[in-house]
Structure formats: C-alpha cells, structure tokens
Amino acid sequence: MTKTWFITGTSTGLGRLLTGQLLLRGDRVIATLRKPGALDDLLASYGDRLQILMLDITDTSAIRTAVGAAFAKAGRIDVVVSNAGYGLFGAGEEVSDGQIERQIATNLVGSIQLIRAVLPHLRTQGGGRIVQVSSEGGQIAYPNFSLYHATKWGIEGFVESVAQEVKPFGIDFLIIEPGPTSTEFGAGLDHAEPMDCYETTPAGEVRRAIASGDFAIKGDALNTVRAMIAAADEVNPPLRLALGSTAYASVSQALTERLRVLEAQKDVTFSADK
C-alpha cells in the first residue's frame, strides 16, 4: 500500500537517503529542508510524489504552518519522521552559551514542537506513526558530545511519555537509535573552541580519534535507512530500535552496567520507603 510520509531534515544524510528510498518504492513524501535546491534532482525524477517545504525546525510558528500545509495538501499522512538535527562537539565546559542554545533549540525543542504540531492532525485522521530519529547517544554517552547527548536523552524521555498519552488515539512511536554511520554527520558537527586543559582527558582522546579517522564507523547509511523503513512498515514496531553492531554493543553494555549498579544498591534503595 502506498504511504505518505512527512520528513524533516532531508537536505543530507539519513533524511535525504530515506526520502530517495521511499520515492523509489512508490511512496509519497513531503520533505522539509533549509537549503533551497537540495532535492531538485529527486523532484525532477519523481514529480508531484515529492512535495518540498522550507522549514527551520527552530521556528515553532513555522513548524505549525508547515505541518498544517502538509496535512491540508496530503489529506492523510501515514508516517511523520522527526529527523532534523546535528551534533555539537566539545567538552561541556568548552561549548559556548550560543552553541548550547542552538543545539537544544534544534535537536530537542524542535523535535518536541514538531511532535506537538502533528498530534492534533493524527488524532483527527484516526491515528498514525511518528518516527523519532535519535541515536545510540540517546542511551549511552561519549566524552565531547555532552550537549548532543542531553538532547537525545531528552527527546527519548519525551517520546516515551507521550507515546503512552496518545496510544488510545491510534498513534504510536518508533525511536531509531543508529550507531556511528557513514553519513555527513561528522562533517556537519559544530565544534567548540578546544581548551588545552582537556587535551589529555577522555574528551581530548575522542577529539583526536575523530580528527585522525580512528573513530570506528561501522554503520552503512543505506542499510540503516532500509532497516528504518522496514520497522516503520511493521504493524507493531518496538518503541526503540538500535541499528548497527556498535549501537548494539554500546547500549547493551550501558544497560547491563546500569542494572548491575541498581541491583547492588537495592537495600539502600528500599530503605527510603516508609
């Protein structure tokens, strides 16, 4: 069955690849982006099955306008993909106030406001699915990505709560958690001004690993997108889907360690009850 998708952040990376794959299989896509012309090649190939809307995800009023226009044009949207975002790279002390504000406005507040904007429309049409593109970084943390992690952990908490609120309306969620993947994510990083005192710390180690190319990137972008589409097509997808062997290993290790620590403090934990 042909589906209609609404996808943010489609200029590059997973968003663009997802758009192309969906059009290739015959679906309709309403794609938002900030760079005019970035999807002109797809528009030439697929015509009116691709609709393009300009959108800055940090502009809440513009989000509501774009979402309203998309639903008015399509009539029904089956899947909304909240994908727009980027990474802020630097130790927590190194990043500037402005960088922090932009990171949170884009990755966290922008994603929250997009979800809030589409919910009334999905309720009206009797249901739908929202795919939130997160990261393995929504459950684990690397040095030098503290603000990025703050946004991904934050949006996953928001989604997990809202998913319970809107389930009675036939609306469900799928959180996608890719590990390091071969996209333009690294090239799009916003870098903080490095401080010498962090050079010999874990933050400095990660900085050198990324600069030298030693930071392992095992994820394949096309395979990741294909797995995303397959999961979004399922009747009852999981709430979370980690993608890539690095994500599996990292998330598994983090959850196992958290559970070990929790069990070890069980007596102290229970002592806080009446």
15-20: long-range contacts, CB 8 A cutoff, minimum separation 24: 15/81, 15/83, 15/84, 15/133, 17/183, 17/221, 17/222, 17/225, 18/81, 18/83, 18/225, 18/228, 18/229, 19/50
Annotation says 134 is catalytic: yes
Q: Which residues 6+ apart lie within 8 Å of 170 measured at CB? A: 122, 126, 127, 128
Annotation says 148 is catalytic: yes
Closest CA to 16 of 221, 176, 190: 221
Among 86, 142, 148, 198, which one carries the catalytic annotation? 148
Among 111, 146, 152, 198, which one carries the catalytic annotation? 152
Among 134, 135, 146, 250, which one carries the catalytic annotation? 134
Annotation says 152 is catalytic: yes
Closest CA to 17 of 36, 42, 35, 34: 42
Active site residues: 134, 148, 152
